[in-house]
Structure 1
Amino acid sequence: MKTVEGRQWANREELIEHSGYSRDTLWKLWRDRGTNGHPEARDFDGVMHWDVQVWDAWFAAHCKRPRDLSGVDRTGDPDEPLPPAAQARVLGVDPARITQYTKHPPPAWPDPVRIEQLTTRTREYRTRAQLWAWVDNPVSGFGTRGGRPPGPDPKVRAAKGKAPDPRVRLAAEALAAAPGRKAGQVAADLAARHGQSVDTWRRIVTQARQS
Structure 2
Amino acid sequence: MHTIDGRQWATREDLIESSGYSRTTIADLWRDRETNGHPQPRVIDRAMHWDLEEWTHWFEQHRQQASAPASRSAPASRVDRSGDPDELLPPAAQARVLGVDPSRITQYGKKPPEGWPAPAHVEQLATRTREYRTRRQLWQFADNSPGFGTAGGRPSGPTAKAPDPRVRQAALALKAAPDMKPGEVAAALAQQHGGSVHTWKRIITEARKTA
Alignment TM class, shorter chain as reference: 0.3 to 0.5
TM-score for both structures, normalised by structure 2: 0.37
Structure index of larger Rg:
2
TM-score for both structures, normalised by structure 1: 0.37
